[in-house]
Amino acid sequence: MEILKMTVPFPHPVVNPGNRRTLLSPPRYGGNSSCPPCFRSQWRRASARGGVRRFGKTMALPGLGSCFVLLLASVLPPSQYAQDAAMIQYINRRFQTLEQGLAKCHQDTQEYIQEFQDFSKKVSFLLERCGIYKTEYKNKLDHLLSRVERAHREIDYIESTRDSPTCIEEDDKMVAQHLIKQTEEEQRVKLLLNASCDVMLAGIKSLKVVKKSGEPRGSWLKDPSGNHQKVYLLSGSNNNTVLEFPNMRAFTESGPKPVFRKLVLPVSWRGTGHAIYGGFLFFLSDGPTNEIVKLSLRKRSVVDRMLLPGASTLVDLAVDEHGLWAVHAEPDARAKMVLTKLDPESLSAEGSWDTACSGREVEAAFLVCGVLYAVQGPGAGRPRRVGCVFDVLGSPGSPDAAGLVFPGRWPGRAAILYDPREKQLFAWHDGSQVVYRLQMGPKAHGG
């Protein structure tokens, strides 16, 4: 509150050091007396002691206290002025104490308001986090039943393919049944793969560096299904930000303001063996070792997850003319590569093959028409080359592709992905995006 400074003139003489009247004279009450007798005697005693001088001094009173003093001055009789001086000072002190209490109350109220606002912000942040966690847990619960059913199907499949420990003596009839069963299995695989693709890799003709961007490791790819022209760049082996370019021309431009859209994913990926198929991004999550995530690029939300059976090492995903595949190495000492055909709709395993390719020196793997090509990295005096080939249909001519050399000598590890629509390899070499042009040839079929 604002403190008002005012001079209170009392209706009695104010004596200066010269003992002369300088201010207002008291009202007369008849005769020669200028004030009542009781007040006159008190006035003389106060004048003799020099105490009257203080009544003329300026007193600092708060606005409310000044109004109260003026009210007393208008109500009380003149004879009470001198007697109530101490009372006025007491009231003034009480008003000052009251104002101090009100000021402290106002300050405490402001502090409480600030504390409440901070608490409200904290609660809002925690509620938002709870909503995110609730959505994530709900998605996990929604997929739990499908995972259990998928696990039952995979267990049944493993049990059906497991060799029986019972020792029996095979006769001609059982051998014939085995051959019939093997033929039916081959027909089933051909039907599964919709085997209209009957070519294999015959050579790697040339390479072209289309862009230099990003970290030493990463991958770039397109959606081979339909007529999609967008190019996606995934920089790093552990990240959650995808750059989407409208076409290859925008991807290769190196101007000051490149045209792209940044997609922030709710889940981080791990590794560089990703795949895009039918508008969905498939990648290995940054959680469990063998968890594959299916994410909608349009909605930027997780659609499905699966745990790849038997995979305890890094998993690479690939797309060819037959669809979506997963490649991983066995955890035992042999480290043989395992090839699994996946249903892109339900993420269920449609079939699995144990290959003869070792995953020890393999840096990348891709598939062309159902044939797995394991790429070995460069060594001492050795270029990057195809080290092993495996055909799920058992074509005897497929191993001839082993030993194909990649042109150029790029150091370090590489990510190599096959685009079945453009019949090219999209590679990532130490921050450079490279295209390999391929030469195809017909498969050799056994009799």
Strand 231-235 and strand 424-429: pairing? unpaired
To the question of pTM greater than 0.75 for the whole model, the response is no
Q: Tens digits of per-residue pLDDT, 58-105?
A: 444 445 556 665 666 666 565 555 567 888 888 889 999 999 999 999
Tokens of 351: 């079939």
Q: Contact, 296 vs 340, CB < 8 A?
A: no
Q: Tens digits of per-residue pLDDT, 351-378?
A: 889 898 988 888 999 999 999 999 988 8
Q: Where are the beta strands (DSSP E) in 30-73?
A: 59-62
Q: Domains along the chain?
A: 200-442 (2.120.10)
- CB under 8 Å, gap of 24 or more: what pairs does 336-343 form? 337/362, 337/365, 337/372, 337/374, 337/388, 337/390, 338/310, 338/311, 339/367, 339/372, 339/390, 339/392, 340/308, 341/192, 341/193, 341/392, 342/292, 342/306
Least confident of 212-221, 290-299, 402-411: 402-411
pLDDT score for 170: 52
Tokens of 361: 């020196």
The larger pLDDT score, comparing residue 419 to residue 75, is at: 419
Q: Tens digits of per-residue pLDDT, 9-24?
A: 444 444 444 444 443 4
Mean pLDDT throughout 171-181? Answer: 65
d(CA 246, CA 381): 40
Identity of the highest mean pLDDT range in 139-153, 233-247, 285-299, 400-414: 233-247
Mean pLDDT throughout 134-154? Answer: 78
Mean pLDDT throughout 3-14? Answer: 43
pLDDT score for 243: 95
Average pLDDT, the chain: 78
Instruction: Specify the 3-state DSSP secondary structure of 92.
Output: helix
Instruction: Specify the 3-state DSSP secondary structure of 44.
Output: helix
pLDDT score for 6: 42
Q: Tens digits of per-residue pLDDT, 272-312?
A: 999 999 999 999 998 877 899 999 999 999 999 999 887 76
R_g of the chain, CA atoms, integer Å:
47
**Residue 226 banded pLDDT, cuts 50, 70, 90:** confident
**Residue 178 banded pLDDT, cuts 50, 70, 90:** low
pLDDT score for 379: 76
Mean pLDDT throughout 396-418? Answer: 78
424 φ, ψ (degrees, to nearest 5): -135, 160
pLDDT score for 116: 93
pLDDT at 198 over 60: yes
pLDDT at 8 over 60: no
CA 329, 414, 289 angle in degrees (round to 5)?
Answer: 35
The larger pLDDT score, comparing residue 179 to residue 367, is at: 367
pLDDT score for 256: 74
Instruction: Specify the 3-state DSSP secondary structure of 77.
Output: coil
- Taking Cα atoms as reference points, which of 435, 389, 400 lies closest to residue 414? 435
